[in-house]
Amino acid sequence: MPFHLGRIQSIAANLGAGNILPTIYGDAVNNFGYASSLFYPDLWLYIPAMLMLSGFELIRAYQIFLVLITLATGIAMYCATNRMLQNLQIFQHYQQQQSQFLTIEQKVSLLATVCYLAFPYRLINIYLRGALGEILAFIFLPLVFCGLTEIFLTRKRNWQILMIGMVGLLYSHIISSFMVSIFIALIVPFNLRSAWQLKSALMKAGIFTALLGATFLLPLIEQMQSNQFYYNTANPFGSLPEQALAVISTPNPSMLIAINITVLALCYFLYNWLKSWYPEITLLLFLTFYLTFMTSNLFPWFLLGRLPLIKYIQFPWRIFLFVSYLFPIIFAFVSMHFLAKKASFWYFTLVSIILISGFLTTDILIHISANYKQNTSYSPPSISIGRGEYLPAKVKLSAIAKRPAVPMAIAGEMSADSYSRSGNIAELVFSNASPRLSLEFPIIYYKGYVALLNGSPLAVTESKGGLIHIEIDGIKSGRLAIRYEHTLVQILAFMISLATALYLVFINFRANSAAVAKNYQTATS
């Protein structure tokens, strides 16, 4: 949680200084600066940051933000599930009693929403892990699955819901969006013979997701190509097999493969035996079971960990994100199968709310109360960067903690008349410099920093310690300014996303206007 609180605090500080789109949090890491926003999307964090600017304490702004996230999650889950059930037409054979206030689809959606909000993994993310990105991802995951049903199970092939869900995921938690992309990629091969309209809808959703996400994706790729960072050299989280939930100690690789083949075969035979009941529910049931199985060290993560990019999932138990969505759907389906014609629905719902929310929330709060409670005046530590995975590989936090926060001469000498640092701007006034002067600034190096000596540009490079390094030749005195500027890639990426958003607004406005005009002509003819 301190990492995300530090991000919110840094955004608020940048906004207060007039820096609307900060890419470097200049006050992070003892004011050495940290570029987490280039690797971890922070779009939604502007909400609590603006709450801070309006006068709320950091903790209070965070709490309000969590309430807003919970409301958005509930609304998204209910609306997406209701629409998805209408597409699936699972309950078309149930007779709806006219005296009932809600349709059966609405009842299932409501029950699934309650279970989704109270699911243990989501509550653990809120109260124990403080995993804000994954908490935000819960808003958009139902939209993704709803969008998939729109494409695969309806004639309209409405791809925009899937696009909205994927873009929301992308700007919430890059790892969650990566995992969902893998899930969708696994579905596509089973539909290669489908109609061209389906393939076209998937392509449109993918292309427009990439274009709208360009503001984050392209700068991310640019930074990844510019340097080596902790996440790909130091492996701060450990390997996937190490992070999997431990069910057995020192699992044998051959045994793991045999176990998984056996489990998959068993699931396949059970599915064929039970699918005459409800094939969709049966498939979801076994999918949920195997996804839960994959979070443990009974799954051969030593094989998947060798595949490109898979290691960036970091923790196999992040798969619980899918389980957190699928289980409430199954729970609601099965419950309504038995209770659709009974008046006990509301009693069952109330009992479910009390049991699920009461037991889980109480248990979690008991565990967190002693060690995690903070008052509203809490401020995160000056070095609140999680595992520091976005630090350049050359940076040593122990060295930064001891280093004076002033420019230091690596080669040559000079007199520092004054040095100031504000946000992402540093300024040094020096004199009596050696003919050849090499300076290291107390600023962590990222691509995008520029230096101006008396108005003339200088090259900015990375020092051996991962900080900004400047070479000055033949100038005895002057004013040296260093600041972070948006790179050409960042500017172009923002323009691409903005142009795409405006285009989508335009075509939707035109389509809606045409539909209104057509309905008007039909009504007046």
Give residue-wise pLDDT tens across range 469-510: 999 988 888 999 999 988 999 999 999 999 999 999 998 888
**pLDDT in the model for residue 62:** 92
My answer on whether 8 and 92 are in the same domain is yes
* Helix (H) and strand (E) counts in the chain: 21, 9
C-alpha torsion 287→289→290→296, nearest 10: 150
My answer on whether 105 and 167 are in the same domain is yes
Consecutive H or E run containing 171? none
How far, rounded to the nearest angstrom, does the alpha carbon of residue 139 sit from its chain's CA centroid? Answer: 11
DSSP output for 337-358: HHHTTSTTHHHHHHHHHIIIII
My answer on whether 500 and 459 are in the same domain is no
Residue 471 within a domain: yes
* Closest C-alpha to 38, from 174, 166, 140: 174
My answer on whether 449 and 519 are in the same domain is no
6 has pLDDT over 80: yes
Q: Whole-angstrom Cα distance, residue 316 to residue 456?
A: 50
My answer on whether 478 and 500 are in the same domain is no
Give residue-wise pLDDT tens across range 231-269: 877 666 777 878 887 777 777 777 777 777 877 777 777
Q: Is 154 helix (H, G, I), strand (E, B) or coil?
A: coil
Residue labelled with tokens 């969650």: 176
My answer on whether 445 and 513 are in the same domain is no
Which comes out higher in pLDDT, residue 46 or 192? 46
What's the pLDDT band for 218 if we cut at 50, 70, 90? Answer: very high
**pLDDT in the model for residue 289:** 86
158 has pLDDT over 60: yes
Q: Which of these ranges, 68-77, 300-309, 342-351, has the smallest mean pLDDT?
A: 342-351
* Closest C-alpha to 165, from 62, 70, 39, 73: 73
Q: What percent of the chain has pLDDT over 70?
A: 83
DSSP output for 208-269: HHHHHTHHHHHHHHHHHHH--BHHHHT-TT--HHHHSB-SSSS--HHHHHHHHHHHHHHHHH
My answer on whether 463 and 511 are in the same domain is no
**pLDDT in the model for residue 26:** 79
My answer on whether 7 and 145 are in the same domain is yes
Q: If you ran DSSP here, which 8-state letter would residue 317 be given? A: G
My answer on whether 58 and 201 are in the same domain is yes
394 has pLDDT over 70: yes
Tally of domains within the chain: 3
Q: Whole-angstrom Cα distance, residue 453 to residue 446?
A: 19
353 has pLDDT over 70: no
For CA atoms 141, 144, 149, 155, the dihedral sign is positive
Mean predicted confidence (pLDDT) in 299-307: 80
Residue 89 within a domain: yes
**pLDDT in the model for residue 338:** 64
Give residue-wise pLDDT tens across range 21-30: 767 887 788 8
Average per-residue pLDDT for the chain: 83
**pLDDT in the model for residue 523:** 67
116 has pLDDT over 80: yes
Q: Whole-angstrom Cα distance, residue 353 to residue 46?
A: 32
Mean predicted confidence (pLDDT) in 417-424: 87
Residue 279 within a domain: no
Q: Whole-angstrom Cα distance, residue 300 to residue 234?
A: 23
Paired tokens of 181: 């992309």
Residue labelled with tokens 């930064």: 400
Q: Whole-angstrom Cα distance, residue 502 to residue 31?
A: 37
Q: Is 430 helix (H, G, I), strand (E, B) or coil?
A: strand
Q: How far apart are the first and last CA of the chain?
A: 62
**pLDDT in the model for residue 471:** 92
Q: Of 355, 372, 389, which one is at a domain's C-terminal end?
A: 372
Give residue-wise pLDDT tens across range 423-438: 788 999 998 888 899 9
pTM for the model stands at 0.87
User: Which CATH number belongs to the domain containing residue 480 in this structure?
Assistant: 2.60.40
Cα-based distances in Å from 459 to 220, 255, 351, 354, 413: 22, 56, 67, 63, 19
Neighbours of 341 (CB within 10 A): 11
My answer on whether 408 and 330 are in the same domain is no
Neighbours of 171 (CB within 10 A): 20
Residue 229 within a domain: yes
Residue labelled with tokens 């962590």: 444
**pLDDT in the model for residue 265:** 79
**pLDDT in the model for residue 160:** 92
**pLDDT in the model for residue 339:** 61
What's the pLDDT band for 142 if we cut at 50, 70, 90? Answer: very high
My answer on whether 28 and 151 are in the same domain is yes
375 has pLDDT over 80: no
Mean predicted confidence (pLDDT) in 35-57: 91
Give residue 498's domain range.
488-525
520 has pLDDT over 60: yes
My answer on whether 64 and 204 are in the same domain is yes
Which comes out higher in pLDDT, residue 77 or 353? 77
Residue 521 within a domain: yes
Give residue-wise pLDDT tens across range 454-475: 989 999 999 998 999 999 988 8
Q: Which amino acid is at 490?
A: Q
**pLDDT in the model for residue 428:** 92
* Closest C-alpha to 209, from 149, 167, 178, 162: 167
Paired tokens of 225: 């190509």
Helix spans in 17-57 (H)? 28-31, 46-53
Residue 251 within a domain: no
C-alpha torsion 64→70→72→76, nearest 10: 180
Residue 294 within a domain: no
Residue 73 within a domain: yes
